[in-house]
Amino acid sequence: MYRPQIKVVDCTIRDGGLMNKSRFSFETVRNVYKSVCAAGIDIVELGYRNSKQMFSIDEYGPWRFCDEENLKKIVDGINPVRNGTSCPVRVNSNRACHDISNRVKSDKTKIAIMQDAHKAVAEDILPKEKSVVDVIRVATYVKDIDKAIKLANNATEKGYEATINIMSISVALERELDEALQQIEKETKISACYIVDSFGALYSEDIDFFIDKFKKYLKNKEVGVHCHNHQQLGFANTIAGIIRGANYLDGTLYGLGRAAGNCPLELLISFLKNPKFDIRPLLEVISRDILPLSSEITWGYSIPYMITGILNRHPDVAMKLLEKNSDEKAKKDFLKFYEELTEEEVED
């Protein structure tokens, strides 16, 4: 599938940050950034710019706030097009080095940050010319759509590209969603609006349904998909999105992300046949930086996440069950976990 309009977004640090309170080392973030640039990824999301009034800077790491000086430390000397120099990325083989430097000159990986509609403020966004950021992605529940539109308009007015990402869409009420989409079309200048399957509950037929609905209302905006892997459908649903016309596609390295994780970026760019992509820097950074994280962070398919996925529930109950200090026996009693969740449902 080679469609030039497609934009691939790496959200490893942002979505993965939900599993470690955004406490990645500067070295990890810099290596991820370097590698996705070298791989030709269109956009890289380096974290949240959420409010320090709402998140403790003692409890959360730097990528929950993405201060400009921290972002500058990450990009400094790396982004080749930004500085007009050739690519300084080194990978193991001569052949790879050659290919990459040829490629990167003609492309630029844009930098994105995310603002949660209900946890961020407009004032934290500088005018574009004072920032290394290119894209502001506003994450929202349908109910917070007015806050999201305010933040998105703040971003576009200050010179950024902006997107609105509608979270937990598998439990959105249809009438409210329809109204939100009409507002987005009328009141914003965002480039794309995302279907976010936070619960990993959607099947491909649901992706089709939502894309058709988004396209119906959003005549001048692209549709994006951000899929989770609770039912091992993160990649498959992203493909379903591509086939149905989504052009903004989120993925993360080795699927690192909340709970069962995301659509793996390495699979996504293998599927997309665009010759501008190079999988090799991604393989290298997964080996060196992402795989070692699995000793501290546990993500990927497991039965508790599968259960929240099939029940269309937020994964937080499964994340709590699987926490490091939780009861080891309870972690493995899948039937009990399932019956607790379904009995709750009966009581509703």
Q: Which of 283, 293, 319, 322 lies at the binding interface for its own copies (CB under 8 A)?
A: 283
Query: What is the footprint of its own copies within residues 251-270 (CB under 8 A)?
Result: 254-255, 264, 266-267, 270
The one-letter amino acid at 277: F
How many other β-carbons are positioned within 10 Å of the β-carbon of residue 327? 10
**Both tokens assigned to 240:** 């379903």
Cβ-based neighbours of 264, under 8 Å, separated by 6 or more: 234, 235, 251, 252, 253, 254, 255
For residue 148, the minimal CB distance to its own copies (Å) is 30
233 lies in the site for its own copies, by CB under 8 A? yes
Query: What is the footprint of its own copies within residues 211-230 (CB under 8 A)?
Result: 229
Q: Which of 76, 291, 327, 344 lies at the binding interface for its own copies (CB under 8 A)?
A: 291
Closest CA to 340 of 309, 301, 304, 289: 304
Q: Is the dihedral of CA 177, 207, 263, 308 positive or negative?
A: positive
**Both tokens assigned to 334:** 């899948």
209 lies in the site for its own copies, by CB under 8 A? no
For residue 231, the minimal CB distance to its own copies (Å) is 6
Q: Which of 77, 323, 336, 344 lies at the binding interface for its own copies (CB under 8 A)?
A: 336
> How many residues in the chain?
348
80 or 234: CB nearest its own copies:
234
Q: Which of 15, 197, 284, 289 lies at the binding interface for its own copies (CB under 8 A)?
A: 284
Q: Which of 121, 126, 171, 236 lies at the binding interface for its own copies (CB under 8 A)?
A: 236
How many other β-carbons are positioned within 10 Å of the β-carbon of residue 89? 19
How many other β-carbons are positioned within 10 Å of the β-carbon of residue 169? 22
Report helix angle 94-104 to 26-39, nearest 10: 80
300 lies in the site for its own copies, by CB under 8 A? yes
For residue 309, the minimal CB distance to its own copies (Å) is 8
Q: Which of 109, 231, 247, 252 lies at the binding interface for its own copies (CB under 8 A)?
A: 231
**Both tokens assigned to 73:** 């430390």
Distance between CA atoms of residues 72 and 132, nearest Å = 7
Q: Which of 32, 44, 96, 180 lies at the binding interface for its own copies (CB under 8 A)?
A: 96
93 lies in the site for its own copies, by CB under 8 A? yes
239 lies in the site for its own copies, by CB under 8 A? yes
CA distances from 125 to 53, 55, 82, 155 (A): 15, 17, 21, 7
Please report, as ranges, the residues that interact with its own copies according to CB under 8 A.
91-93, 95-96, 203-204, 229, 231-237, 239-240, 254-255, 264, 266-267, 270-271, 279-280, 283-284, 286-287, 291, 300-301, 303, 306-307, 310, 332-336, 338-339
